Structure 1
Amino acid sequence: MPAWTRVVGVFDLETTGVDVTCDRIVTAHVGILDAAGAVLTARDWLADPGVPIPEAAAAIHGITTERARAYGRPARDVIQEVVETLRGILDAGIPVVAYNAPYDFSLLKHEAIRHGVEPILSPAPVIDPLVVDKAYDRWRRGKRTLTVVAQHYAVRLEDAHQASSDAVAAGRVAQALAGRFAPWLPDTAQELHTWQIGWARAQAASLTDYFVQIGRLDPSDRLDGSWPIR
């Protein structure tokens, strides 16, 4: 097993929507797993995002506007603490696992800027199981949602779309990927981080070509392959 699997950070957000520039954080989880995937530390947040939570989003993660307003903490306080906690893990050289990392890290960046918190602009090292899985099992049929990929690698995911459950499952999927593809993976998280930058760019280019081919994208449009933050 690569050395980075011995201790990994995990990070996930549940939000008001999917637009990283405009939508807001509702819940967040940051934790640390050991080599066996057991939880060493865990921290959860519920924020009052300051805007109504759309019914479609509440139906996914279960947090309504009323609940967030009644029990959520001020958004700025939550964002400050999430940023500080992640920064502490990264500064310690511990990789942070985030499934579809550009979504969570980009949304957190825009939230930080919105609330006057110093943002994390270049998180590293980051492990993104979505990118790694696509790189090493490119032609596997089916969806690549966390639920489906966790099942494929025999990782239990209970309470999907709860930030804590998704974060821990993503960390365990990253460790399962490391076990499955160990002979081809670099030993250090920083090397893997660098490899993922290129993989994500290539994956976005390939998906762009496919979407153009089926008429879903105009040939002049391109998907953003920036990773791990946009």
Structure 2
Amino acid sequence: MSAWWLEEWTALDLETTGLDLESDRIVTAALVWARKGVPVEMRTWLADAGQQLVPAEATAVHGVHERHAHRHGRPAGLVAEMVSQALAGSVIDGLPVIVANAPFDLTLHDRELERDRRWSLAEASGQLPLHVLDPLLLDWALDQRREGRRRLVDLCEHYEVQHEGPHRADADAAAAAAVTWRIVGEYPELRQMSLPQVHEAQVGWAVERAEARQRAKRRTDPTAVVDGRWPLVPRQGVAR
């Protein structure tokens, strides 16, 4: 079994106009290539979502103003396609792709491609499987007893990783890679598994986490539903 944790990883992060997977758009995107959690290459994109507004509350999070995005950004669908093409090499080589909160970033990326009918990541990589490592999910699964919040910034503090700027796509991608490297180093059971096995384990852990969150939410809202699909929420009518 190859030592996949010693290979080059690619980390993805998106900043967006909001949190709705089906209607919100990409504002910035970043890919960071890292070895042992240390960045060795970085690419960033600024996206123009056309008629879609960048709400003030979104700008307050990531710092990108609507006028700046319209004036200097590339079409959001084109940015999504360029991200797919840049990621394809890692997928073809069977290397890990790091995405903190993967169901959000990967799903929104997928919907951006669908909106403009552009090449998907699967098409760009010849339908080869995507092997994702999600530090938020790994941390939850391997250390469930720890109390407190588990956002990326919280994980950086817990695993003693320096974060250069929360909600800046390049900084978040770099931090996700570094935190994932620390998690893999701390838990030998991950290194004893193949990369496909770690990916599949996360599929099951995501269901368990969703069930736990749903039980907690239903203490105050009996109708609460938490989606456990990972790493991507399928398009309507399309099987996972």
User: Are the aligned partners of 2:11 and 2:177 in contact in 1 as well (CA < 8 Å)?
Assistant: yes
In the superposition, the TM-score normalised over structure 2's length comes to: 0.89
The equivalent residue for 1:181 is 187
The equivalent residue for 2:215 is 209
Distance 1:217 1:30, change over 3 A: farther
1:124 to 121, 125, 130: 130
Displaced runs of 4+ in structure 1, greater than 6 A? none
Q: RMSD of aligned C-alpha atoms?
A: 1.6
The equivalent residue for 1:19 is 20
**Residue-by-residue CA offset, 1:170-212 (whole Å, 9 max, x unaligned):** 0110100011112455332211001000000111011101111
Q: Which secondary structure state, in structure 2, belongs to the residue aligned with residue 41 of structure 1?
A: strand
Deviation at 1:217, TM superposition (A): 4.5
Q: Which secondary structure state, in structure 2, belongs to the residue aligned with residue 209 of structure 1?
A: helix
Specify the code of the residue in structure 2 equivalent to 1:142. G
Paired with 1:188 and 1:101, the residues of 2 have a C-alpha distance of: 20
Matches within 5 A, 1:80-229: 80-120=81-121, 124-183=130-189, 185-213=191-219, 215-218=220-223, 221-229=224-232
Paired with 1:156 and 1:14, the residues of 2 have a C-alpha distance of: 20
Paired with 1:184 and 1:166, the residues of 2 have a C-alpha distance of: 23
Q: Which secondary structure state, in structure 2, belongs to the residue aligned with residue 14 of structure 1?
A: strand
Distance 1:99 1:115, change over 3 A: same
Specify the code of the residue in structure 1 equivalent to 2:221. R
User: Are the aligned partners of 2:184 and 2:190 in contact in 1 as well (CA < 8 Å)?
Assistant: no
Percent of residue pairs bearing the same amino acid type: 36
**Residue-by-residue CA offset, 1:19-39 (whole Å, 9 max, x unaligned):** 11110000000121012x222
Q: Which secondary structure state, in structure 2, belongs to the residue aligned with residue 31 of structure 1?
A: strand
Confirm or deny that 1:3 pairs with 2:3. Answer: yes
The equivalent residue for 1:46 is 46
Specify the code of the residue in structure 1 equivalent to 2:175. A
In the superposition, the TM-score normalised over structure 1's length comes to: 0.93
In structure 1, runs of 5+ residues without a counterpart are none
Paired with 1:159 and 1:149, the residues of 2 have a C-alpha distance of: 14
In structure 2, runs of 5+ residues without a counterpart are 234-240
Paired with 1:189 and 1:178, the residues of 2 have a C-alpha distance of: 11
Paired with 2:31 and 2:11, the residues of 1 have a C-alpha distance of: 6
